[in-house]
Structure formats: structure tokens, C-alpha cells
């Protein structure tokens, strides 16, 4: 289940964010967290399974679009469908917005959205 980011989860969020290829530098990572904390249109969610936070998705709301800027899953839980589940949950939580990708997240997000469309058609 997706939970909205809170300051108490800053270290967990930074750990998950650091799996993104563009978030390897600590200064960049701190700036990214700062953006999610201070900009109202930027929203960060953490995925909790049992007692652990194992996934993260970060979006920017632009009118009717929800642009996925960050998505990552703890390496020990990859390939279990969690990334796709987070994209689906985002769409369910924001029925008034269309989920979109940025250039960096496009390969994965587009694949998830295309899968969803195919599942809906079958
Ligand atoms: C990308 C990431 C979030 C995928 O999470 P995951 O939980 O392992 O993904 P899922 O198990 O939900 O995979 C769903 C589908 O996407 C595919 N997929 C996985 N990673 C992909 C990627 N980087 N690009 C395109 N498709 C990808 C899977 O093969 C799977 O395909 P299938 O439905 O045909 O079997 C995870 O690998 C990760 O955290 N990577 C590091 C961070 C990163 O690079 N994020 C940006 C990715 S564009």
C-alpha cells in the first residue's frame, strides 16, 4: 500500500531514491528530498509491505497529469510486480489525473501503463 512521505521516513526515502541512476550524488539526493518536502505539487509515496518500506514513487502534479519522476524498489523485492503495482495504485489514488512518465522513468512506466491497457482489453 502506498503511504504519503513524512519527514520521519527521510532516511528510508533517501535510501530508496538512491537506486535511481540520477540520484547517486548525496547533494542531488538532498536537493530532491527538499523539493518533495517543500513543493506542494511534488508528492512522494512509500510502499509498505508488512513492517518494511520497500518501494518509492515520486510524482509531480501538473494540471491533469501526474508525472512520475522517481520510481524504485528495494533490490531484494524486484521482479515481484511491485513497481507495476505502485504505478497502478497511483492511477487509482488519482483518478482525476493521467499518469505519465518523465524521460528517465519512461521505459518502465510506459511498460506498466501498456500492460494495464492490455489487461483491461483481455
Ligand atoms: C525499475 C524498477 C522500479 C522495477 O521494479 P520491479 O518491482 O522490479 O518491477 P515489476 O516486477 O513490477 O516489473 C513489471 C514489468 O516491467 C519490466 N521491467 C522491469 N524493469 C524495467 C525497466 N527498467 N524498463 C522497462 N521495463 C522494466 C519487468 O520485466 C516486468 O515485465 P513483465 O510484466 O512483462 O514481466 C526497479 O528495477 C528499480 O528500482 N530499479 C532501480 C531504479 C530505476 O532505475 N528506476 C527507473 C526505471 S525506468
Ligand 1: residue whose CA is nearest its atom 2: 72
Taking 70 as the threshold, does the pLDDT of residue 122 lie above it?
Answer: no
| Residue 32 grid cell | 530532491
Q: Using one digit for the tens of pLDDT, what is the confidence trace for 54-112?
A: 999 999 999 999 999 999 999 999 999 999 999 999 999 988 999 999 999 999 999 99
Asked if 58 contacts 17 with a C-beta cutoff of 8 angstroms, the reply is yes
Domains, the chain, with CATH or none: 2-121 (3.40.630.30)
73 pocket-lining for ligand 1 (C-beta < 6 Å):
yes
61 pocket-lining for ligand 1 (C-beta < 6 Å):
no
83 pocket-lining for ligand 1 (C-beta < 6 Å):
yes
Taking 90 as the threshold, does the pLDDT of residue 8 lie above it?
Answer: yes
Ligand 1: residue whose CA is nearest its atom 17: 108
115 pocket-lining for ligand 1 (C-beta < 6 Å):
yes
Q: Using one digit for the tens of pLDDT, what is the confidence trace for 73-82?
A: 999 999 999 9
- Ligand 1 midpoint to CA 72 (Å): 8
Burial (CB count within 10 angstroms: exposed 0-12, middle 13-18, buried 19+), residue 45: buried
Q: Which atom of ligand 1 is nearest to the CA of 87?
A: 12
Rounded to whole angstroms, the Cα distance separating 77 from 30 reads 25
Amino acid at each position: 500500500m502506498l503511504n504519503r512521505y513524512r519527514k520521519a521516513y527521510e532516511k528510508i526515502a533517501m535510501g530508496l531514491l538512491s537506486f535511481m541512476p540520477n540520484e547517486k550524488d548525496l547533494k542531488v539526493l538532498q536537493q530532491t528530498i527538499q523539493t518533495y518536502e517543500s513543493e506542494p505539487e511534488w508528492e512522494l509515496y512509500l510502499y509498505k509491505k508488512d513492517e518494511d518500506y520497500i518501494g518509492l514513487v515520486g510524482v509531480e502534479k501538473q494540471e491533469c497529469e501526474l508525472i512520475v519522476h522517481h520510481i524504485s524498489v528495494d533490490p531484494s523485492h524486484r521482479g515481484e510486480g511491485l513497481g507495476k503495482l505502485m504505478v497502478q495504485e497511483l492511477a487509482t489514488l488519482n483518478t482525476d489525473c493521467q499518469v505519465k512518465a518523465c524521460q528517465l522513468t519512461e521505459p518502465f512506466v510506459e511498460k506498466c501503463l501498456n500492460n494495464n491497457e492490455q489487461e483491461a482489453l483481455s
